[in-house]
Structure 1
Amino acid sequence: MEPESFGFPFEPYSIQKDFMTELYKVLSDGKIGIFESPTGTGKSLSLICGSLKWLKDCDGKGPEAPESTVQPKANQPDWITALQNQSTSSKKQLELEKRKAELKKRIDRVREKENQEMFELATKDRRKKRLKRDAREKTEKYDDEFLLDDYESDDEKKASNRTDPKSNLSKEVQDLLAKFESKKKPSIGYEYDEDGDDDDALLEEQVKIYYASRTHSQLSQFVHEVSKTIYAKDIYEVSLASRKNLCINSDVNKLGHVNKINEACLDLQKKGSKKGPCKYLPAGDNTAKWNEFRDHALAQVRDIEDLVTVGEKLSTCPYYGSRSTVKSARLVVLPYQHLLHASTRESLGISLKNNIVIIDEAHNLMETMTSIYTVSLSLHQIQLAWNQLNLYIQKYRSRLLGKNVVYIKQILNIIKILIRHLTPKDEAQRKDSVMRVNDFLHTASIDHINMFKIQNYLQVSSLARKLNGFIDKAREKEEEDRQKELLKNPKATPAKPSPSLASSTLTLTQIESFLMALTNPDKDGRIVTSFGNAENPGVTIKYMLLNPADAFQPIVDEARSVILAGGTMEPISDFLNHLFPSVPESKIAHFSCGHIIPPTNLATITLDAGPSGQPLIFNYESRQDMKLMDEVGNAIANLCNVIPDGIVCFFPSFTYLDQVYKRWETANDGTILQRIEKKKKVFKEPRESNQVETTLRDYAMQIDSSDKSMGALLLCVVNGKMSEGINFSDSLGRGVIMIGLPFANRGSVELMEKMKYAQQYSARNANAGTEYYENLCMRGVNQSIGRAIRHRGDYATIILLDKRYATPRIGKKLPKWIGDHVEHVDKFGLIMGKTSKFFREKKA
């Protein structure tokens, strides 16, 4: 039974009510939910209010029946055992309520203090403004040099800088986290030290919501939305992020590269570290400092930047502080990688058991899973790893104890075999290949090596981290010696850096990831060897994951409910076939809501032929047809006459965009391009990411210029930077034109393997390989055409230039809010009439 109100911050639209009602039901039933809600329809707020209302109601119902915790004695009646279990459960519930009340009391105390500080700051700010105003009224008689700086009392300064200079962590990350679970009472005389960490263990058993999205900006936006709801005052929320985003040690975060920051952080925790200990990490048994950070972190709904501020104020590491806070939090906001990667989840101590998982922007979830578990190595990286590890063993061979030398030699041997595989003596063997994992191990003659033992050794010994430290030190020493030599003899030619020390890449770490991938099930992945081509000349070897379902299965098994949400989730069949193949369809709910715009604000038209009547079919063979390039150019030139402001036009690839544009420039002395430029200034999506923002700015400035008769045309690429995450709202995108169907190169060895795998292992679809290929294409189309309509008052036309869009097989893969209102036009003149009428009515 759904609630009467979801606490939406304003009157929700009917589609938002439907979304929240369905979400509440899916969570209550413990199902998997696939939710599709177009951008601009308030998807984030619907997710927040629907799930947090369910969580609040879940708390109000009390705990579910516990599993039996008391073992019955011999000949003991069942009813006695049941009573004992009930008694144990009641005691546990009472203890939990006590812990919750204590935590609330502490957090309320922090909130009260923060509110008072904000009031005093506001009062001080008002007083300062008044003084400045008075000063101006006195013709600025007094100089700023006499203005007092903000005053901070000694007590406040001490409180914000409490740290123990002797604090140190003698073990690695797991040991640090293990200390949070210690039952030991803190011995420091601090206002929070009456509480040990056993309360966290109880609080951790409460149902949590884990919300994941792709980027930190999306996560921050989500947190901001939470803060606008009625749940902000009650929900305990914490955001997780990488050290790069949360580290407040200037000596560490200045290193920039995420791997270097991780290495430096772990080095500071080592016993006897010359640079350690990190002053922001309290002593291992100082539970009070971690509790203090937790209470401040949970006192408000905070994003990553807010947690950094809290950490700086308390002189406590926000990275480890946020991780320790997870146990007491009810809403955990984290990036994809932290949630989807099993070893990362484990290292963070994240337990999904009986909890809720919400994955937003989930349209590319399968590709994301595949990417996370795919490992690629270049020949250069592998050779560098061999050289560096060889230097290491030469230096320390006589001092290495136990089986270190044996394992390092084994790893060197594996690396040498990889090099030999990528540098065959026979030129005829330099052919791209795809192998199953076991076939590769056998062909490379390393199938006798126990990769699980190698994996365990690399993890326990931290060889990759220690090797990197050794190389950094050797590089510093080499540079120091070079500088000394130049001082002695300034005219001498500087010695070239050693090739083994020239790179700062964490090469062995990447080798380790590749070797770990070789322990995955044989059927789930392939080893792809590439000897390069004109576009990618490098020699590489890659482990490619084919089966994201197995990697995602632990999340499905552990979580109470999993929600996948996105603006466009079609084609849904991909999720059923390739992410949830073993889940009964009765356990999967699919919800797709319409748009908040009225139907009259969107005109979606498929077109069969161009102005001269030539059929528009942009298949791989016909794309090179110059007449077709001219036809589409003339079609766009005509449409530029009737679509106002900005038009965004999507091509299947950068290569085809360049070919077509060059044809427009040169054919008939550039007549086609000249026709277009009479009505629209033309912009092209740059291949370089750092130029995208400039292109978008210039495009927007052109549309916003005073010459309203001259709009702009932006030529983009499906799956490029412009096709996802950028809003072409209002005049920026009055028209979206899709040229052809962006099918991937079917000759790609990787794509062929994925299609073969889909066909072989799909239990739901006899034509799964072809379905996978089509769905890959249509996901790109759907993301691109969804760029135009961004809010209730927006309007646009979507024009699909290819005869195949009119086929039922392709049409049904469009988003429901678009697909339900598609018009099919077979002659070009008709589309001109329909488009002209659409925009005339909008002007009226």
Structure 2
Amino acid sequence: MASESFGFPFEPYSIQKEFMKELYNVLSEGKIGIFESPTGTGKSLSLICGSLKWLKDNDEKGSESPETTAQPKANQPDWITALQRQSTHTKRQLDLAKKKEELKKRIDRVRDIEKRQGIFELATKERGKKRLRPDTSGLDDNDDDFLVDSYESDDEKTTGKKIDTKSNLSKEVQELLAKFESKKKPFISYDDDADDDGAMLEDEVKIYYASRTHSQLSQFVHEVSKTVYAKDTYEISLASRKNLCINPDVNKLGNVNKVNEACLDLQKKGSKKGPCKFLPAWDNAAKWNEFRDHALAKVRDIEDLVTVGETLSTCPYYGSRNAVKSARLIVLPYQHLLHTSTRESLGISLKGNIVIIDEAHNLLETMTSMYTVSLSLHQIQLAWNQLNLYIQKYRSRLLGKNVVYIKQILSIIKILIRHLTPQEESQRKDSVMRVNEFLHASSIDHINMFKIQNYLEASSLARKLNGFIDKAREREEEERQKEQLKNPKAPIAQPSPSLTSSTLTLTQIESFLMALTNPDKDGRIVTSFGSLENPGAVIKYMLLNPADAFKPVVEEAKSVILAGGTMEPISDFLNHLFPSVPESRIAHFSCGHIIPPENLTTITLDAGPTGQPLIFNYESRQDLKLMDEVGIAIANLCNVIPDGIVCFFPSFTYLDQVYKRWATADNGKILTQIEKRKKVFKEPRESNQVENTLRDYALQINSPDKMMGALLLCVVNGKMSEGINFSDSLGRGIIMIGLPFANRGSVELIEKMKYAQQYSNGNSNAGTEYYENLCMRGVNQSIGRAIRHRGDYATIILLDKRYATPRIGRKLPRWIGEHVEHADRFGLIMGKTSKFFREKKA
């Protein structure tokens, strides 16, 4: 390593130094790194300083080897080949240096302008500023806007390009022109100079940083701005149109799908409302480069980019995509990076670049859910009705093979409806099939789904259909209102069922059909006919193999870093995300906590106050004595743990059952005993009530009455088990009730366990391992809510004797698992906990 000075904004702790050194080494060796660093240990800053230090050093030594830049000619002496390679390498390096210097001069000039004029200074101070959304009329009323273009494609060679049957040009020439037109995108090039400049800068190594939410990404950008790398690192944030659109006629629509549709409609030739006044011509390099230079002049988040776009009257959505070529640090949400089609649509190339995925503890579940598609019977029927209305409206005007393909899609939809509405009651049984089995059983195995995919992509049928339905619904509503004015006493007419929804129903159908092209072993078709809790028939494509979806990232990127506060159990990543990656290419780093060891005590408990064993398995959860036992245990712990206690239950159902028992048994004696020392709060099922509950919980803890704290009853994998900061007095105690194992009878879980077992390379316990790991990831996220900074302290109490077994203990985060104490009787835990907090008061 060139230097051990990582440019940390303050003196780093030893574990931060270790983290950055290991990260630097992993990037240098082109490995996959799994990094675990508890919240409060400066993980984000360590990621930033370690990776940007590596990027700076990599630039200085030159990342392109001369040996790879020229091919030898036949019978040419080696010394001539070497000289040619050196010459080619040197010329390219000089050209690249020239382009970088030109870009630097432009950005320095922009920085000077911004400083002198004081523009964009309010960008970071007006986060809550609400964008104006004037109430203007809807988009184009022309019905032809929703008519798909002529389509002629019967072979894979045309790749679904649109062909104009009225053109005098041959089909082959039109296809060549279509390919040429497809390259004229804002993130590809604007003119010859811009293309050369962008292509060369695009070859530089970039860092792609992804996280789950925009707030996490904004926080990351804010951390970058604190470092010594802020001035010399060209950073750009990517986001959806909904977050970046500055056209008030479009962003007022709110819904992400509607915003996307409206944006694309404004770019359509002949649109009455277009072109968008904030979208410069694609060949207006000066305007696009102006946005790029201002965007890169400072480290900015998406709110800053909106301000830049508004000031320059240039679209931040396309402007940020164009700036990717010149940027070195690209900050983007999970979905933009992990979803192949989204990545391709943004023009993102991971080849030879660095990928950092933060908050990666749920990466497996994220990948699985992104590629899993679920369709209800209602959605499928709605799509069929809407597509029927569409073809009735436009049949006489549809050119080429549009009618053929739309009828084929209608036929497939009809088959899906029949599959979910069997004539015999005996056939209404939940089922699981492999993809090929489903295709054969449904008699659609003869249909070329790739051709269907080409057609849907080229025709934009789903988007056109949605626009058509929205307009039809508006017209129907206008007619209904007119009739109501004419005859106020008449019954109010109900809207047509086919027009009641504005959701992209056909888009969901399209996603399902595309999932059917995945490898047969990688997924299952799950059919469910509902239950009392969730009535209604549903068909779902369930992805079982996230490794295949993640494989392009692993193969293209120079190095991939997965980072999180709690990454255990690591075995899941190795088995289900990197099964084909050599063990030598994977590095695992887990650092301790920055708190001194005496600031955390973790205790497992075998039995309650009366000696009853604490085993919260599925069979014993209904045991009323066990509910009473855990209530008495918590009531006693409330006497010795000050301020706030956060208690996690395996599920909402069990939380409600136990709370009801405490409140009613023996005239509510247990709940009354708890409430003598702690005011009790429960996590609400409704997401919009979570913030109010947390506020009231915090207010109670910070009230003048220091003798009365608060107890917050939560659920593992609920809203309060991840991303909530229970630091200091908000979480002096974390109590985990039982092990939150998922329902082992779930059809989906059974299939995932079977798949894990089948492709386990001989591990006889692979299915069970997957099941346990799923449980322990939830536990680890929950118990990590307490310790949030160096001076914090807390106790973690695990109420279930199974926590003391080595098999479960090994799956706890290292910073917790290495210091777990065991109490086989309740008296011991009371003594240990009392002593812990007495010493903190001293």
TM-score over 0.5 (shorter chain) = yes
| AA aligned opposite 2:96 | L
The residue correspondences of 1:307-346 to structure 2 (distance < 5 A) are: 307-346=305-344
Match of 2:703 in 1: 705
Residue 453 (1) aligns with residue 451 (2)? yes
Residues 180 and 287 in structure 1, CA contact (< 8 A), matched pair in contact too: no
Query: 2 CA distance for matches of 1:496 and 1:349?
Result: 45
Distance 1:762 1:781 in 2: 24
1:38 matched to 2:38: yes
Q: Deviations over 1:489-532 (max 9, x none)?
A: 33333322111111111110111011010100010001111111
- Which residue number in structure 1 is paired with residue 146 of structure 2? none
1:184 correspondence with 2:184: no
Gap change, CA 1:805 and 1:79, over 3 Å in 2? same
Determine the C-alpha separation between the residues in 2 that align with 1:279 and 1:687. Answer: 44
Establish whether residue 521 from structure 1 lines up as the match of residue 528 from structure 2: no
Contact 1:755 1:769 in 2 (8 A): yes
Q: Structure 1 pair 833/121, CA: closer, same or farther in 2 (3 Å)? A: closer
Deviations 1:559-611 (A, max 9, x none): 00000000000000000100000111111100000000000000100000000
Q: What is the rounded CA distance, in whole Å, between the counterparts of 1:263 and 1:541 in structure 2? A: 27
Name the structure 2 match of 1:20. Answer: 20
State the partner residue of 1:806: 804
Aligned-pair CA distance for 1:14: 0.3
Task: Name the SS for the 1:196 alignment partner.
Answer: helix
List gaps (5 residues or longer) in structure 2: 126-176
Within a 5 Å distance, the mapping from 1:459-608 to structure 2 comes to 459-608=457-606
Is 1:696 matched with 2:703? no
Please state how far the C-alpha of 1:176 moved relative to its aligned partner: 7.3
Q: 3-state DSSP class of the match of 2:356?
A: strand
* C-alpha spacing 1:361/1:92, structure 2 compared with 1 (3 Å): same
Deviations 1:57-93 (A, max 9, x none): 0001013215655454443334323322322222111
The 1-side partners of 2:501 and 2:120 are apart by: 52
Deviation at 1:23, TM superposition (A): 0.4
| Structure 1 residue identity aligned to 2:407 | K
Does the 8 A contact of 1:20 with 1:47 survive in 2?
yes
Instruction: After superposition, give the CA deviation of every residue in 1:783-802 in whole Å (9 maximum; x if it has no partner).
Output: 00000000000000000000
What secondary structure, in the 3-state scheme, does the structure 2 residue paired with 1:56 have? helix
The counterpart of 2:819, out of the listed 821, 827, 836, is 821
Q: Give the corresponding residue for 1:758.
A: 756
**Structure 1 residue 395 corresponds to structure 2 residue 376:** no
2:623 partner letter: D
Contact 2:724 2:785 survives alignment (8 Å):
yes
Deviates more, 1:396-405 or 1:226-235: 396-405
1:2 shift after superposition? 5.5
Matched, 1:375 2:373: yes
Across the aligned residues of Structure 1 and Structure 2, the Cα RMSD in angstroms comes to: 1.7
Which runs of no fewer than 5 residues in structure 1 stay unpaired? 126-169, 186-194
Which residue of the partner structure matches residue 201 of structure 1? 199
Secondary structure at the aligned position of 1:538 is classed as strand
> Is this contact kept in 2: 1:607–1:827, CA < 8 A?
yes
Question: Structure 2 matches for 1:173-252, cutoff 5 A?
Answer: 175=182, 178=185, 180-182=187-189, 184-185=191-192, 195-252=193-250
Mapped to 1, the partners of 2:120 and 2:338 lie a distance apart of 43
Alignment CA distance shift 1:119-1:538 (3 Å): closer
Whether 1:715 aligns to 2:716 is no
Corresponding residue for residue 75 of structure 1: 75
- Is the partner of 1:487 in helix, strand or coil? helix
Q: Distance in 2 between matches of 1:212 and 1:574?
A: 20
Q: Select 1:426's aligned residue among 413, 419, 424.
A: 424
Checking the alignment, whether the CA contact within 8 Å between 1:172 and 1:269 is kept in structure 2 is no
Alignment CA distance shift 1:120-1:74 (3 Å) = closer
Aligned to 2:360: 362
Percent of aligned pairs with the same residue?
85
Q: Secondary structure at the match of 2:536?
A: coil
Distance in structure 2 (CA, Å) of the matches to 1:343 and 1:172: 18
Other-structure match for 1:136: none
Distance in 1 separating the partners of 2:73 and 2:589: 50
Mapping of 1:113-192 within 5 angstroms? 113-118=113-118, 175=182, 178=185, 180-182=187-189, 184-185=191-192
The amino acid across from 1:587 in the alignment is R
Paired residue type of 1:3: S
Partner of 2:167: none
Quick one: distance in 2 between partners of 1:481 and 1:822?
70
Aligned residues of 2:430 and 2:526 also touching (Cα < 8 A):
yes
Sort the Cα spacing of 1:531 and 1:29 in 2 relative to 1 into closer, same or farther, 3 A. Answer: same
> How far off its partner does 1:681 sit?
0.5
Aligned length: 789
Q: Which residue of 2 aligns with 1:163?
A: none
SS of residue in 2 equivalent to 1:609: coil
Q: What secondary structure does 2:499 align onto? A: coil
1:171 and 1:271 in contact (8 A); partners too: no
Deviation of 1:7 (Å): 0.3
Q: Is the 8 A contact 1:15 1:594 kept in 2?
A: yes
Question: 1:726: which partner in 2?
Answer: 724
Alignment-derived partner of residue 743 in structure 2: 745
Comparing 603-612 and 60-69, the one that deviates more: 60-69
Measured in 2, the distance between the counterparts of 1:636 and 1:493 equals 59
Aligned letter for 2:642?
A: P
Conserved? CA contact 2:650–2:738, under 8 Å:
yes
Q: 1:724 touches 1:784 (CA, 8 Å); kept in 2? A: yes
Aligned to 2:51: 51
- Secondary structure of the 1:623 match is coil
Deviation per CA, 1:308-328, whole angstroms, max 9, x where unpaired?
Answer: 000000000000000000000
Could you say if the C-alpha distance between residues 427 and 311 of structure 1 is closer, same or farther in structure 2, counting changes exceeding 3 Å? same
Aligned equivalents of 2:190, 2:370: Cα separation in 1: 36
How far does the alpha carbon of each residue in 1:641-684 deviate from its partner, in whole angstroms, 9 at most, with x for none? Answer: 10000000000000000011111111111111110011100000
Deviation at 1:180, TM superposition (A): 4.6
Matches within 5 A, 1:663-674: 663-674=661-672
Partner of 1:92: 92
Q: Which string of whole-angstrom CA distances, capped at 9 and with x for unpartnered residues, describes residues 292-315 of structure 1?
A: 100000000000000000000000
Looking at structure 1, the residues matched to 111 and 680 of structure 2 have their Cα atoms a distance apart, in angstroms, of: 54
CA–CA distance in structure 2, aligned partners of residues 288 and 419 of structure 1: 53
